[in-house]
Amino acid sequence: MIPHRRRFLQHALATTAVAGLSAWSRQSLRAEGSALSDKHFEVVDVKRTTARLEYRPTPRRNMDRELPHWRYVEICDVTLRSGRQGSGETLLYYTWGVPSEASVRRVIGGNAVDLMWDDSLGAGLQMALFDAVGRTAGVPVHALLGPQAHSRTPLSWWNIDTSAADMAEECRRAYNIGYRSYKTKGRPWFDVFEQLRQAVQVVPESFKIDMDFNDTLRDAERGLPILQELAKHPQVDIYETPIPQVDLAGNARITAGTDVQIAMHYGNPGPLDVIRTRCCDGFVVGGGAARVMREGQFCDETNMPFWLQLVGSGITAAFSLHFGGALRQAVWPAVNCHQLFEHDLLAQPILLRNGLAAVPDSPGLGIEIDRDELARRKVVRPARRPEPARLIETTWPGRRRMLTASNGKVNFMLQAGNEERYGYYLPGAESRLVENDGSDRWRRLYDQARTQGPIEV
Ligand SMILES: [Mg+2]
């Protein structure tokens, strides 16, 4: 039956416009009486490929301060007995789960339909199983998730914190290619007021800007006036985690004290406590497929908006689109971060119109990977997270200057920021990477800053 079916699909591909293929082929297959038995979903092979992507120049000079390791992805290709292959992706050093050798061994010989809801398999392997099952059954991934709620879904452009000029440039770029939302970090080592002053000059009021403070405003008493000041720009739309999420009363005060919506990562505090105390307006939802659906359904029942946060290249972004199609309350723009890269690994980019992307309707993820680009980017998987020595200079008007060194931990600047080592959102702050020129002077400053924590120089 499968060879016949494959010939049939080849015929379909040759004779049908891509846009209408999926629905047409599904109906036609049913009309033909084609049926798939369990054995077609048996996993027969798993291959993994590590690639090192490159950032576009603007994200590069900013990501290289704190997140040089987001370049590394692992692509998982799963082949089923049907002959169909599915692919998934893991951002190796920023993911909810890296597929292990044991997970790969475990799925071989198993039924992909039974396995695909197991979040413990890790991001790329789970994604590849969904893709392979969808391609074998001739249905898009969103149809495996449940009834379709949306045919188009919102996406946000993402960047780490940048200079005001870089932020304005990125907002303009995002707007010009159809995005209507930009998400970034609010950090005390940049001037958040200046960042917004410059960004709002290049986009209309309908373009939205969201800031994730990751606790750095520390408390409602000091944070609220800053949030209220920034909120004077009509573009400012969502603040994420302005102060520690455990501070229910402080977050409730912030939520009541500004019209800008407040987002918190789902789970802490408990979602029922969030509903009871109104300490935020909506959630950030990420993780494995089962978890995302569970959290998305909670949001459905409680009418809480959320954004999907599934991070990687265009492959992960495509997976995210399907959840956006299946979950009614996924109405805040998704954070997928594939805009960071020079090439997002897709043969055809995800197109946005008015901030929305189409939920793919062809089988599986509904995208094709650019295999030539993947081959060009292929590397040996690093034994551990690459950790180049980095020195970051932060300056303020009046010659105050600080140096921060990477210290082996991912959030070395965030931790110092939350300890208020850079002061508290002082105006005029600017930060940049001090290039390692191989000099004794650079090494001396780096060693000193690393040993002592951020230093004043
Ligand atoms: Mg966040």
Domain with 218 in it: what CATH number?
Answer: 3.20.20.120
Given 348, 377, 406, the domain boundary residue is 377
Q: Are residue 290 and residue 313 in the same domain, yes or no?
A: yes
Tell me if 255 is assigned to some domain.
yes
Q: CA–CA distance from 445 to each of 396, 442, 452 (Å)?
A: 19, 5, 11
* Statement to judge: residues 355 and 402 lie in one domain: no
Interacting residues of 358 by C-beta distance below 8 A, sequence separation 6+: 151, 152, 321, 351
Place of tokens 């707007």: 175
- CA 337 – ligand 1 centroid, Å: 12
Same domain, 307 and 236: yes
How far is the centre of ligand 1, averaged over its atoms, from the C-alpha of 212 (Å)?
A: 6
- Residue 14's pLDDT is what? 34
CB 172 within 8 A of CB 198: no
* Ligand 1 geometric centre to CA of 99 (Å): 23
Tell how strand 282-285 and strand 306-308 pair up.
parallel
Q: What is the whole-number distance in angstroms between the Cα of residue 164 and the centre of ligand 1? A: 20
Query: Of 424, 429, 425, nearest to 398 (Cα)?
Result: 429
Q: Give residue 264 CA to ligand 1 midpoint distance, Å.
A: 8
How far is ligand 1, taken at its centre, from the CA of residue 34, in Å? 46
Measure 215 CA to ligand 1 centroid, in angstroms.
10
Contact 215, 187 (CB under 8 A): no
Query: Is 267 within 8 Å of 240 (Cβ atoms)?
Result: no
d(CA 315, CA 124): 10
- Structural contact between residues 393 and 432, judged by C-beta atoms closer than 8 angstroms: yes
- Is the same domain home to 365 and 418? no
Same domain, 304 and 351: yes
Contact predicate 455/391, CB 8 Å: no
| 8 Å CB contact between 374 and 151 | no
Same domain for 400 and 370:
no
Q: Is residue 110 part of a domain?
A: no
Residues 262-274, buried b or exposed e (16+ Cβ, 10 A)?
Answer: bbbbbeebebeeb
Give a yes or no: residue 248 inside a domain: yes
Whole-number pLDDT of residue 10: 35
Note whether 370 and 416 are same-domain residues.
no
- Tell me, in angstroms, the distance from the centre of ligand 1 to residue 112's CA: 32
Determine the distance separating the centroid of ligand 1 and the alpha carbon of 292, expressed in angstroms: 16
Give the pair of three-digit tokens for residue 245: 């999420």
Distance of CA 109 from the midpoint of ligand 1 (Å): 38
pLDDT at residue 37, rounded to an integer: 79
> How many of the other CB atoms lie within 10 Å of CB of 145?
19
Per-residue model confidence as pLDDT tens for the chain (457 residues):
333 433 333 333 333 333 333 344 445 445 544 567 788 999 999 999 999 999 999 999 999 999 999 999 999 999 999 999 999 999 999 999 999 999 999 999 999 999 999 999 999 999 999 999 999 999 999 999 999 999 999 999 999 999 999 999 999 999 999 999 999 999 999 999 999 999 999 999 999 999 999 999 999 999 999 999 999 999 999 999 999 999 999 999 999 999 999 999 999 999 999 999 999 999 999 999 999 999 999 999 999 999 999 999 999 999 999 999 999 999 999 999 999 999 999 999 999 999 999 999 999 999 999 999 999 999 999 999 999 999 999 999 998 999 999 999 999 999 999 999 999 999 999 999 999 999 999 999 999 999 999 999 9
| Ligand 1 centre distance from Cα of residue 284 (Å) | 8
Query: Are 137 and 111 within 8 A, CB to CB?
Result: no
- Say if 385 falls within a structural domain: no
Helices (DSSP H) in 138-219: which residue ranges? 141-145, 164-176, 192-199
pLDDT score recorded for residue 38: 81
| C-alpha 151 – ligand 1 centre gap (Å) | 26
Range of the domain at 1: 1-35
Residues 373, 405, single domain; the answer is no
Rounded to the nearest whole angstrom, what is the distance from the C-alpha of residue 283 to the centroid of ligand 1?
10
- Ligand 1 center to 308 CA (angstroms): 11
Beta-carbon contacts of residue 296 (< 8 Å; ≥ 6 apart): 285, 306, 323, 326, 327, 329, 330
- 116, 119, 124, 125: CA torsion to nearest 10: -40
Structure-token pair, residue 162: 């940048």
| Pair 350, 399 in one domain | no
Q: How many angstroms separate the alpha carbon of residue 332 from the centre of ligand 1?
A: 14
Which DSSP state fits 314? H
Distance between Cα 240 and ligand 1 center (Å) = 7
Q: Can you tell me the distance from the alpha carbon of 230 to that of 354, in angstroms, rounded to the nearest whole number?
A: 24
For residue 183, what pLDDT is reported? Answer: 98
By the 8 A CB rule, do 394 and 347 touch?
no
| Residue 36: predicted pLDDT | 72
List, in sequence order, every beta strand (DSSP E) within 201-303.
208-212, 236-240, 261-265, 282-285
> Residue 76 to residues 59, 114, 230, 308, 385: CA-CA distances in angstroms?
26, 18, 43, 22, 19
Residue-level pLDDT at 438: 96
Last residue of a domain, one of 343, 377, 411: 377
Q: Output the CA 253–ligand 1 centroid distance in Å.
A: 20
Phi, psi angle pair for 407, to nearest 5°: -135, 20
Cα 255 to Cα 407: distance, rounded to the nearest angstrom: 35
CB 327 within 8 A of CB 358: no
Examine residue 67 and state whether it is found in any structural domain, yes or no.
Answer: no
326 shares a domain with 180: yes
In a domain, 207, yes or no: yes
Task: Report if residue 69 sits inside a domain.
Answer: no
How far is the centre of ligand 1, averaged over its atoms, from the C-alpha of 369 (Å)? 28
Cα radius of gyration rounded to whole Å, the chain: 23
Give the separation between CA 5 and CA 138, rounded to whole angstroms: 10
Q: Which among 37, 32, 91, 103 is positioned nearest to 63, based on CA atoms?
A: 91
Q: What SS3 state is found at 367?
A: coil
At residue 399, the pLDDT reads 80
Q: What is the CA(47)–ligand 1 centre distance, in A?
A: 31
Question: What separation in Å is there between the alpha carbon of 309 and the centre of ligand 1?
Answer: 9
* 414 alpha carbon – ligand 1 mean position (Å): 12
Domain boundary among 349, 377, 405: 377
**Domain count for the chain:** 3
**Domain annotation covers residue 61:** no
Distance 410 CA to ligand 1 centre (A): 14
Q: How far, in Å, from the CA of 96 to the mean position of ligand 1? A: 13
Report the pLDDT value the prediction gives residue 35, as an integer from 0 to 100: 62
| Contact by Cβ (8 Å): 299, 307 | no
239 CA from centroid of ligand 1 (Å): 10
CA distance 355 to 347: 21
Structure tokens at 114: 């039974």
Do 183 and 298 lie in a common domain? yes
The closest of 135, 140, 144, 143 to 41, measured between CA atoms, is 135
Give the Å distance between the CA of 92 and the centre of ligand 1. Answer: 18
Give the separation between CA 217 and CA 414, rounded to whole angstroms.
Answer: 12
Cα(160) to centroid(ligand 1), Å: 11
Same structural domain, 434 and 368: no
